Amino acid sequence: MQIAFVIYDRFTALDVVGPYEMLSRLPGAETVFVAERPGPLRTETGVVALTADKALAEVPHPDVVVVAGGPGQSALMEHAPLLDWLRAADDTSTWTTSVCSGSLLLAAAGLLRGRRATSHWLALDQLRAYGAEPTGERVVFDGKYVTAAGVSAGIDMGLSLVGRIAGDDVAQAVQLGTEYDPQPAYDAGSPDKAPAHLVEALRARSRFILT
């Protein structure tokens, strides 16, 4: 099973690394990092880089597509090389997935029209603008399309997908092996739970503004 992790300039590191840590443990998994061109690409901070092993054109038929989010997503919403590849890969994929604002790229490619989907809570209105049905859920399955909410939700998405592909025992073994047992220090991980002044402060700085 070939799993293609799509990266680009200014992606968010955990959007890729989180699901990678789950999905790479699937029996028989072949993971590959892909981008428009092979080579190193830096995250939004500019400090961390991951290497795209292959160009998009070299990976035409992955079984699983995982599209990362990050500030670099905004510049790619009309970028034909990526959107065309997403459509073509989706034609034969078993699962087409995203983390955080990566779902906006799937939506821009026309893959989420009429489908339930999620993204970072600040980006949900943009999903609606592309014909998707946004939800506030952490992980959303709609047929073969799986979308995760902001950043850390990619871990949950990856683990949930392991269960769908290989069964509960394998998924639970992966969870145990990675000691994924979240116990956050605070209960402010969604706009429904966080203090209102923090929600408004993040909203005011958001790049997700409809025009």
| Secondary element (H or E) of residue 23 | helix 13-23
- Residue 137 CA neighbour count, 13 Å, CB half: 13
Segment holding 176, helix H or strand E: helix 168-177
The tally of CA atoms less than 13 A away on the side-chain side of residue 176 is: 6
Of 142, 152, 150, 71, the C-alpha closest to 112 is 142
Q: Which residues form the catalytic set?
A: 100
Domains plus CATH for the chain?
2-185 (3.40.50.880)
* 3-class secondary-structure state, position 77: coil
Q: Report the distance separating Cα 39 and Cα 49, nearest Å.
A: 10
Q: What is the pLDDT along the chain (211 residues), one digit of tens a residue?
A: 999 999 999 999 999 999 999 999 999 999 999 999 999 999 999 999 999 999 999 999 999 999 999 999 999 999 999 999 999 999 999 999 999 999 999 999 999 999 999 999 999 999 999 999 999 899 999 999 999 999 999 999 999 999 999 999 999 999 999 999 999 999 999 999 999 999 999 999 999 876 4
Burial class (CB in 10 A: 0-12, 13-18, 19+), 6: buried
Tokens of 54: 């292959």
State CA 167 to chain mean position distance.
22
Structure confidence by residue, pLDDT tens digits, 75-128: 999 999 999 999 999 999 999 999 999 999 999 999 999 999 999 999 999 999
d(CA 1, CA 76): 27
* 191 C-beta neighbours (distance < 10 Å), count: 15
Closest CA to 86 of 154, 36, 150: 36
- Cα–Cα distance measured from residue 99 to residue 197, given in angstroms and rounded to the nearest whole number: 26
* 43 touches 71 (CB < 8 A): no
